[in-house]
A and B are shown apart, each in its own frame.
Chain A
Amino acid sequence: MDTLNLAQWVFDSLTGTGLLWLAWMALASPQLIRAIVIFVAFGLLMALTWVRLDAVDIALAEVAIGAGLTGALLLAALAKLTAAQTEISKSDHRPRDGRAVRALRQLPAVLMFLVAAGLVYSVLSLPPVSSGLSVEVDANLGTSGVENPVTAVLLNFRGYDTLLEIFVLLLALLGVWSLGGLPPQRVAPAGPVLHTLAVVLTPVLILLAAYFLWAGVKGPGGAFQAGATLGAAGVLLQLAGWRPGPGFARVHWRLILVAGPALFILVALFTIVAGRHLLEYAPEHAGTLILLLESGATLSIGLTLAGLFFGERPDDGYDNDN
């Protein structure tokens, strides 16, 4: 074993055990705030692991969504829960459970241990290397319209999956809104540091999103990473106290939110009407169409994620009962 291999081995075992340890810490922590911080750290280490597995696209998505935005959402939810939480813990006089009940509580742990053991056994029995479909992907990359195999799979070979997934994001926001949304929050004015940060970082994040979108054609990047970056810009703006004005509410919101899904549907309809298969692009137009779809998706994903963080239902003249 040469030095490089040894160094990699040490690094991999450190990240591997680190992941397990962080996961356990996050689950076992009695304090929610601590659990969330550890969860964010877990996401970052997970991203590092994806890089080691040569999956840079997933690493980017993990950092932006898994660690960044999910962490922000969890912290925001916690802040809103804190008031209610103290009330619950004050009134919590649950009687102590008997020994039998406590023993029964261990049952899921035992079951999960058995499942895990079975999984380890079947994973060890798998062939160590499986090429999956990478041969077919490489063979057809030339006619896919892009050079990055991940983008080719997401937007062309399996573009239909992505079409449905874009709708999952919209559904998440609609689901939050169907709960009635949060009552409008009072916003404390941002301190000078946060204000400056928002002023400086927001344009940088927008530029970065555009870069990710463009870079996805050739290398790691694409609509999800770009959208998450835009979403981060939206979160930062909200933290700094910016709120969408009433003039911006109504139809503009909805137009941006549906831009991604609607473009997908239009392209799908167009291919069907043209007598092709669903989402079958002509090779010479594939690159342009993919960029178009990704641009729409980026805007929608960005606004959806920022909207999830916002939590309030935008006043869109949608709520009058007549």
Chain B
Amino acid sequence: MEVIITTFPWGVVLILVPLFGALSCFMWPNVARYLALSTAFALVMSVIALAVRLITTGSYRHEIGGWGAPLGIELFADGLSLLMLAATAVVGFAVTVYSIGYFPNRQLLRFLPIWFLLLAALNALFLSGDIFNLYVALELTGLAAVALTAMSGGRAALIAAMRYLFATLVGSMSYLLGVVLIYHSFGSLDFMILAERVEASPATWSALGLMSIGLALKTALFPLHFWLPPAHASAPAPVSAALSGLVVKASFYILLRLWLEVFPAGHSLIPGEFLGALGVCAIFWGGLQALRATRLKLLIAYSTVMQVGYFFLVFPLATVVAWHGVLFLLLSHALAKAAMFLAAGNIIYFAGHDRIVDFDRIAQQLPMTLAAFALAGVCIMGLPPGGGFIAKWLMVQASLESGQWWWAAALILGSLVAAAYVFKVVGHSFTQTTVREKTNVVPVLMEWTALALALASVLLGLVASWPLAWMEIGGVFAGVPAR
């Protein structure tokens, strides 16, 4: 048994299972919800098996077709991939359960096949060791995300989805142009081979520039975030949870891999300080817009713009501690933001709107949902013991150690802004409004799902040593200065 777990290519299972899930939900709509639950459960189990394998035997490569790089494509699983895959499996499972309560049957049957294609694309992306294969996975992710955004119908959602489509296509095209330049210059698409061959040249600079801009657009880094707030605010709530929790991290993950593995420092025309400065702009712009927002989902969407800003602070810091902090932030933000959107979905399901000032005693009527929102808010603000606290602690430590205190100042001020917008929502949830509306009973499972995710994001801070140890599997930070 143990031999099977430590030698079986679990990564492959993580890609094939959701693809199969998508096809089977499409083929057999009558039993789609059971197929969906089993698929999501199988994903969680496979990630656990993959974790066991990686922890016992270290990172591994899988040569697809048996050809090996450079001719074939190789899958690559290390601690960094494991972290992203685990976040995908957990959020994926929660969103699957939630969606069964949230969507009416007709919409659910449209949602499920596209949803599993999105999960398959994300898993494929987090496992790929090949820059062209990453493009294919990126495109599949983007198109599935756009299709899901458009699902809520209506004018606002369709316009938002169209904008999202243009942004995501421009981003992929820009990335693909970079891939072409790299392939022509160095004759390979494989990460490991490229890491040995890449040298500074005008083509390398252009390639890294094009890929970084394309990926920053897809990650919604200020000022390229214009598409995110309308898209994430107008998508159905479980979709928003997946978009903010997982999809924006996919393109950021590729950017991390490129900077960490393929292009050593000095090959970039874009200095890390520039990306960090844009990150600071994103923190304050996103924070202020979230404070101004009158709709809950728009507020949460701007909070994502803000959190994306934090991710980019890693580029000027660039020490092992900073990388740890940012990866931990990716993980805790995935859980907390998904929980927030699911909680918002509960409120919309209950009250039929998400106008913050018109919240009518949500605290009494949906106590579990409000608890979920507040707990996730604790994590987003960076209060202990939330996962966000550990992440920001590490990042502040990294900036003080490297003598760049101004990034730490931005981190701490940003947390204050985050606290302000979380309290704004929580405050209105206790008050009574004169407007009495017809309300719907929220299925218990939906409330529990949001709460479970929020609890997970807070408890993450208590077991912080595990993910921090997993990150080191495969030695992805070997070339990064310790401080």
Enumerate chain A interface residues (CB-CB to B < 8 A). 118-119, 121-123, 125-127, 130-133, 136-137, 140, 156-161, 164-165, 167-168, 170-172, 174-175, 177-180, 251, 254-255, 257-258, 261-262, 265, 268-269, 272, 276-281, 318-322
Contacts and interface: CB of A to CB of B under 8 A. Distances in A.
Interface of B: 9, 12, 16, 19-20, 22-23, 26-27, 29, 62-67, 70-73, 75, 104-106, 109-111, 113-114, 117, 120-121, 124, 132-133, 136-137, 139-140, 143-144, 146-148, 150-151, 153, 158, 177, 181, 183-185, 187-188, 201-203, 205-207, 209
Question: What 4 pairs across the A-B complex have the smallest Cβ distances?
Answer: A175-B147, A280-B66, A122-B206, A122-B202
B4 to A, nearest CB: 11
Given A132-B187, A180-B153, A279 B114 contact: no
Contacts of B201: 122, 125
A133 B65 contact: no
Name the prevailing secondary structure of the A interface residues: helix
A164 B124 contact: yes
Contacts of A130: 184-185, 187
A258 B26 contact: yes
A258 to B, nearest CB: 5
Contact of A140 (B71, B132, B187, B206): B71
B132 A121 contact: no
A126 B185 contact: yes
Contacts of B187: 130-133
Nearest to A139: B71
Residue among B9, B67, B117, B181 facing the most chain A CB atoms (10 A cut-off): B67
B70 A133 contact: yes
Given A164-B136, A172-B143, A261-B19, A277 B153 contact: no
Given A161-B132, A278-B9, A133 B66 contact: no
B202 A160 contact: no
Contact of A279 (B22, B64, B120, B151): B64
Given A132-B187, A164-B124, A171-B144, 18 more contacts: A118-B209, A126-B184, A126-B185, A127-B184, A133-B71, A158-B133, A165-B136, A168-B139, A170-B117, A175-B143, A175-B147, A178-B147, A178-B150, A179-B150, A261-B19, A268-B12, A278-B9, A279-B64
Residue among A178, A179, A272, A279 facing the most chain B CB atoms (10 A cut-off): A178
A269 B206 CA distance: 40
A122 B65 contact: no
Contacts of A279: 64-65
A165 to B, nearest CB: 6
A268 B153 CA distance: 36
Contacts of B19: 167, 261, 265
Name the prevailing secondary structure of the B interface residues: helix
A258 B23 CA distance: 7
Contacts of B207: 122
B146 A175 contact: yes
B143 A156 contact: no
15 contacts: A121-B206, A122-B201, A122-B206, A123-B203, A130-B187, A137-B71, A140-B67, A158-B132, A168-B139, A174-B110, A175-B143, A179-B153, A179-B158, A277-B9, A277-B64
B151 A159 contact: no
Contact of A278 (B20, B64, B105): B64
B183 A132 contact: yes
A111 to B, nearest CB: 11
Given A122-B203, A179-B153, A319-B106, A136 B71 contact: yes
Contacts of B16: 265, 268-269, 272
Given A258-B26, A278-B9, A167 B140 contact: yes
A119 B173 CA distance: 14
A318 B133 contact: no
B65 A157 contact: yes
A319 to B, nearest CB: 6
Nearest to B23: A258
A157 B130 CA distance: 13
Contact of B147 (A122, A174, A251, A281): A174
B413 to A, nearest CB: 31
A245 B139 CA distance: 34
Contact of A171 (B73, B104, B140, B158): B140
Contacts of B124: 164
Contacts of B65: 156-160, 277-281
Contacts of B136: 161, 164-165, 168
Contacts of B109: 318
Contacts of A261: 19, 23
